[in-house]
Amino acid sequence: MGETRNAVLDGSKCTVCGTVAFPVNDMCSRCATRTTTAVELSTQGRVWAYTIQRFPPKSPPYIPPAEGFSPFAVGYVELPEGIKIQAILDCDDFTELDRAPVSLVSTSPVPRFVVGTTQPSGARQ
């Protein structure tokens, strides 16, 4: 596989009240106007809530990996824009997930974040 562009989540932002939405919504969920514009969402966020999927989800839609199922974390990542994105959360140890800083690594088929920051210069806390 060749180079892929850095993962980016495409959202929308209301030009009247500034409310950000994901996925893209052409009508603002807060003030109900049709004045949204496309925005690229932050790729860094923080785990807001999570749970551990300890058994294989129903398949389809779940596609088990070739090496077999192993438990994984799913949850919500809060972005600086003030919204929460449902995502798969990659980590070495589930106990490190609570309020952990995470970085977006892919968007397909669902958003996926990994614990840690990919840009050491962006020292957000």
Residues that bind Zn ion (CB under 5 A): 14, 16-17, 19, 28, 30-31
Shortest Cβ 107–Zn ion spacing (Å): 24
Shortest Cβ 84–Zn ion spacing (Å): 18
How far is the first Cα of the chain from the last one, in angstroms, to the nearest whole number? 34
Question: What is the rounded CA–CA span in Å between residue 49 and residue 124?
Answer: 19
Question: What is the rounded CA–CA span in Å between residue 104 and residue 109?
Answer: 13
The nearer residue to Zn ion, 39 or 115, going by C-beta atoms, is 39
Shortest Cβ 19–Zn ion spacing (Å): 5
What are the respective helix, strand and coil percentages of the chain, to the nearest 5?
Answer: 0, 35, 60
Question: What is the rounded CA–CA span in Å between residue 117 and residue 100?
Answer: 10
The nearer residue to Zn ion, 37 or 70, going by C-beta atoms, is 37
The backbone torsions φ and ψ at residue 88, rounded to the nearest 5 degrees and listed phi first, read -85, 140
For the chain, the residue count is 125
The nearer residue to Zn ion, 27 or 110, going by C-beta atoms, is 27
Shortest Cβ 32–Zn ion spacing (Å): 7
The nearer residue to Zn ion, 19 or 43, going by C-beta atoms, is 19
